[in-house]
Amino acid sequence: MTFSRRSFLSASGAALLGAGFVSGRVQAASIPEAATMTEAVMQPPLIPTSGPDYNPVVTLNGWTLPPRIKGNWKEYHLVAEPVIREIAPGMVAHLWGYNGQSPGPTIEAVEGDFVRIFVTNKLPEHTTIHWHGQLLPSGMDGVGGLTQPHIPPGKTFVYEFQLRKSGTFMYHPHADEMVQMAMGMMGFFVVHPRDPDFRRVDRDFVFLLNAYDIEPGAYVPKVMTMTDFNLWTWNSRAFPGIDPLVVNKGDKVRVRFGNLTMTNHPIHMHGYDFKVSCTDGGWVPEEAAWPEVTIDCAVGQMRAFDFVADEPGDWAIHCHKSHHTMNAMGHDVATWIGVDRNAVTEKIQALVPDYMSMGASGMAEMGEMEMMIPDNTLPMMTGWAQFGAVEMGGMFSVVKVREGIATHDYSDPGWFEHPAGTVSYEWTGESQAIERAASPQFDASTTTEVQVVKPGTDHTNH
Ligand SMILES: [Cu+2]
């Protein structure tokens, strides 16, 4: 288990990555080492120290694969293999992935670069890699049987192509695709513009939308599931296991995601409007980037949106399909809202003392109770924040905008300290209202500054 810094683009990045999480796997001398990640911990951005400057991305609960520079080529080594991925604290899944994790490491390079990607197959069946969205020679497109022979178990194939354009891409197998993607085989691929100032942002987050069907208590996904998945994940992580998106106030921020599930996901962010800036087809011209607060991402699509983080706070970001912010549950649970089951519950408890009836007044109690669940199972709705149970799961995280966050610092700053008087409060009577009105921050004549938007005018203040 050696770790060679010589093979890395960035010595500083390598030092950050090396902190116990990465080990090298020495292959034949001509093949670059395949760095491996053993933990689902977001690694610091891999800052370029040679070649064109760019602002590196960070991968939620993930990492970027360091390339080896060889002449004009950037060389990467992906190893397709069985992996163990922690979905959230309390649950691990036995998946297939690349270099120790699912998703595999993010590949980052620069427009115009020549990339040579070695792919070693350590799966029990053949595989390939398709480079979704890349413009390349047909024979490098990775469609097993169509553009190349499959990569048999134990063999290494090489993909070589020039990156013709910058943008937001991904990679995944095009071989026994239903099984291999249901098992978690996928990764992000970002090509930075050669012009460092082109559409540059200060923070750039990437994640893949994926989904699994893992029975409560089980470890391996059911690969035949068509639509009824029970774990909705970003980078094979479910809330509360998904990293927060930590942002310094005033930063220009980009959030990029791609959908490799079997259904669409309307991704919604609170507190801001944003501009859709890039798809897997390319950059949306700035004058054509349209505003949204929710952007739907269909199967096989990628979307990126940009915003300026001018409003501090803890802002939820989540899929807006409410079943996708839940963890594994029985969908055949009856709806009991409005039904008084006290009488029948008493009778059942006489026979089964631990019996509980739930759901008569909604299901929020599920988020607050520590119910008995099988080992290796996540609660259906869970997570705690400073005001109580968040009652979420699945595709949910928090954009944490703070003042004074250092460049490249992505560590969790904790919960937002709301300025006095800016949190929704319980009404306790008229005297409270008078007291509140008397306090200076609620003096409407001095503090209210409304930007009136007239139809037809551009309300953008970014
Ligand atoms: Cu969704």
Q: What is the pLDDT of residues 186-207, one digit of tens each?
A: 999 999 999 999 999 999 999 9
Q: Which long-range contacts (CB under 8 A, 24 or more apart) does 223-227 make?
A: 223/178, 223/179, 223/182, 223/183, 224/178, 225/182, 226/262, 227/262, 227/263
For 182, the enclosing helix (H) or strand (E) is helix 177-182
Q: What is the pLDDT of residues 222-276, one digit of tens each?
A: 999 988 899 999 999 999 999 999 999 999 999 999 999 999 999 999 999 999 9
- Ligand 1 centroid from CA 14, angstroms: 35
- Ligand 1 centroid from CA 87, angstroms: 17
Q: How far apart are CA 400 and CA 356, in angstroms?
A: 37
- Ligand 1 centroid from CA 300, angstroms: 14
- Ligand 1 centroid from CA 103, angstroms: 18
- Ligand 1 centroid from CA 302, angstroms: 14
Could you tell me the CA-to-CA distances from 29 to 7, 33, 34, 331 in Å, in that order? Answer: 12, 9, 12, 52
| Nearest CA-CA partner of 80 in 211, 191, 194, 176 | 176
- Check residue 373 and give its pLDDT: 78
Of the two residues 329 and 195, the one the predictor is more confident about is: 195
Question: For the ranges 226-230, 296-300, 384-388, which has the lowest average pLDDT?
Answer: 226-230
- Ligand 1 centroid from CA 209, angstroms: 8
DSSP state of 144: B
- Ligand 1 centroid from CA 319, angstroms: 5
- Ligand 1 centroid from CA 220, angstroms: 21
Residue 119: pLDDT band by 50, 70, 90 thresholds? very high
Residue 3: pLDDT band by 50, 70, 90 thresholds? very low
- Ligand 1 centroid from CA 381, angstroms: 15
Its CATH architecture, for the domain 5-322, is Sandwich (2.60)
- Ligand 1 centroid from CA 282, angstroms: 23
Q: How far apart are CA 105 and CA 108, in angstroms?
A: 10
- Ligand 1 centroid from CA 401, angstroms: 24
Q: How far apart are CA 221 and CA 95, in angstroms?
A: 7
- Ligand 1 centroid from CA 17, angstroms: 31
Residue 383: pLDDT band by 50, 70, 90 thresholds? confident
Do the strands 91-98 and 73-88 form a parallel or antiparallel pair, or are they unpaired? antiparallel
Record the tokens describing residue 81, joined without a space.
């293999």
Residue 363: pLDDT band by 50, 70, 90 thresholds? low
- Ligand 1 centroid from CA 298, angstroms: 10
- Ligand 1 centroid from CA 235, angstroms: 13
Q: What is the pLDDT of residues 150-192, one digit of tens each?
A: 999 999 999 999 999 999 999 999 999 999 999 999 999 999 9
- Ligand 1 centroid from CA 392, angstroms: 13
- Ligand 1 centroid from CA 11, angstroms: 38
- Ligand 1 centroid from CA 299, angstroms: 11
Q: How far apart are CA 182 and CA 143, in angstroms?
A: 18
- Ligand 1 centroid from CA 99, angstroms: 27
